[in-house]
Amino acid sequence: MSKEVILTGLRANNDLHIGHVFGAMLPIIDVAKQYAGKYQVNMFIPDLHSFTTPIDHSKLQQQIFDNLRMFVAAGLPLDNPNVHIYRQSYIPAHSELTIIMNNFTGMGEMERMTQFKDKSAKLGTNRVTVGLFDYPVLMACDILLYGAAYVPVGDDQSQHIEITRDLGQRLNARFDQELFVVPKTVKEQHEFFGKDQGLRIKDLADPTKKMSKSDETGKGVIFLNDSPEIARKKVMSAATDSLGGVQYDYRERPGISNLLDLLKLFGGSPEDFIGQTQYGPLKSAVADKVTDFLEEFQSKLTSVNDDKILQKLEISEEAMAKQANQTLFKVQQTVGLRSKDG
Ligand code: TYM
């Protein structure tokens, strides 16, 4: 039997930040390191998703490569033959399956996607594109082409995992066969990655919203290429509240709760700070962890071997195109685009 697939994608339309690290990168890298050989691990760049929101196209090539280097600096083991890195647009089956899948997807379903609603509200009607609308269908195809069972993503993407399951199951039922291996439920995913819920790291300056690379000021975002000094400043000036006393309370005290969560994610002990009257020591503890992490990460980044990435890309893209084409061909036969005789 072939190995179960674990897959995730990170867009390359801006710099990566610590939300990406804990939401998607480390969960998949930990599996790749811990169970080398047990799973197939696909960590890819959904480059066609990059311009679903406006970007500087002249920077995309550089950004794609920078992000791949970050995957390696974060610990992705390129020498493991079960680990694959690739760019979505280099495997045309992704686009092709999307065009087919669009015809099995309801307009209403896509209109209900929270991310679409949020992003289109920000952009305004004239700037909302069909590409943004279709984003979840392309994402579903990214997953279904390889029959991925586990897809580590942050909380903001959970709804897209659900729609992937719906679309996969819909086609399986419609054609009465197992065309697609459908990803596990979001609950099963959380159990697998040892979490009790989806992760959503908040912006340090405005903890009512998600830490996001599209934030205009970047004041509340710890980017992976921030200098440790800048990062320390961002943590020390994180917005908190005037209620006094360190406590978890996600609703009333999102700033403090976010700092406690960050401390835990970086391997610290939030318990040590619960009940303290001052916020300063908690902030300093988080700042220490963040700067240690960035120093180590950035030093690894300088020793990443670019040639190794290029070689791996070539091997992975060839191997993954084969896998993706097999799924695509089965779908093409089933919907009548290709003869069943092969
Ligand atoms: P992107 O690049 O916007 O985000 C990449 C991953 O980082 C997670 N993330 C966060 N997690 C926790 N807290 C945060 N503040 C935070 N910010 C970002 C996102 O949830 C995501 O997991 N749609 C995907 C890209 C994609 C994909 C796929 C992922 C395209 N096709 C197939 C998995 C499988 C996205 O949001 O990328």
221 lines ligand 1 (CB under 6 A): no
Instruction: Please give the C-alpha separations between residue 313 and each of 78, 81, 245, 308, in angstroms, as whole numbers.
Output: 10, 12, 50, 9
Q: Is residue 155 part of a domain?
A: yes
Q: Is residue 38 part of a domain?
A: yes
The values of phi and psi at residue 149, to 5°, are -90, -40
Provide mean pLDDT across the span 324-341.
97
Whether residue 300 lies in the annotated active site: no
Instruction: Please check whether residues 183 and 106 belong to one and the same domain.
Output: yes
Atom of ligand 1 nearest to the CA of 202: 15
* Sheet bearing 83-87, strands edge to edge: 83-87, 39-45, 4-9, 148-150
Instruction: Please check whether residues 148 and 284 belong to one and the same domain.
Output: no
Residue-number span of the structural domain to which 234 is assigned = 228-301
Q: Residue 216 — pLDDT band, cuts 50, 70, 90? A: confident
Q: How many CB atoms lie within 10 A of CB 309?
A: 18
Whether residue 210 lies in the annotated active site: yes
Instruction: Please check whether residues 296 and 313 belong to one and the same domain.
Output: no
Instruction: Give the bridge partners for 43, in sequence order.
Output: 8, 85
Whether residue 213 lies in the annotated active site: yes
**In angstroms, rounded to a whole number, what is the distance separating the alpha carbons of residues 256 and 241?**
8
pLDDT tens for residues 26-67?
A: 999 999 999 978 999 999 999 999 988 889 999 999 999 999
Q: Residue 68 — pLDDT band, cuts 50, 70, 90? A: very high
Question: Looking at per-residue confidence, does 248 or 126 come out higher?
Answer: 248
Q: Which DSSP helix (H) or strand (E) runs through 5?
A: strand 4-9
pLDDT tens for residues 256-276?
A: 999 999 999 999 999 999 999
Residue whose CB lies within 8 A of the most ligand 1 atoms, among 6, 8, 20, 64, for a mutation test: 20
Which is catalytic among the residues 213, 219, 233, 300? 213
Provide mean pLDDT across the span 89-106.
98
* CATH number of the structural domain spanning residue 190: 3.40.50.620
Q: Is residue 179 part of a domain?
A: yes
* CATH number of the structural domain spanning residue 269: 1.10.240.10
Q: Is residue 287 part of a domain?
A: yes
211 lines ligand 1 (CB under 6 A): yes
Instruction: Please check whether residues 194 and 284 belong to one and the same domain.
Output: no
Instruction: Please check whether residues 187 and 113 belong to one and the same domain.
Output: yes
Instruction: Please check whether residues 289 and 309 belong to one and the same domain.
Output: no
Provide mean pLDDT across the span 287-307.
98
Instruction: Please check whether residues 163 and 244 belong to one and the same domain.
Output: no
Provide mean pLDDT across the span 207-211.
95
Instruction: Please check whether residues 184 and 258 belong to one and the same domain.
Output: no
Nearest CA to ligand 1 atom 31: 139
286 lines ligand 1 (CB under 6 A): no
Length of the chain: 342
Provide mean pLDDT across the span 82-108.
98
Instruction: Please check whether residues 317 and 254 belong to one and the same domain.
Output: no
Question: Which of 222, 228, 216, 217 shows the shortest CA–CA distance to 204?
Answer: 222
Instruction: Please check whether residues 106 and 187 belong to one and the same domain.
Output: yes
Q: Residue 342 — pLDDT band, cuts 50, 70, 90? A: low
One DSSP character per residue, 188-230 reads: HHHHHTT-SS---PBPSS-TTSB--TT-SS-TT--BTTS-HHH
Instruction: Please check whether residues 277 and 192 belong to one and the same domain.
Output: no
User: Which pLDDT score is estimated for 197?
Assistant: 83
Q: Is residue 341 part of a domain?
A: no
User: Which pLDDT score is estimated for 1?
Assistant: 60
Instruction: Please check whether residues 43 and 168 belong to one and the same domain.
Output: yes
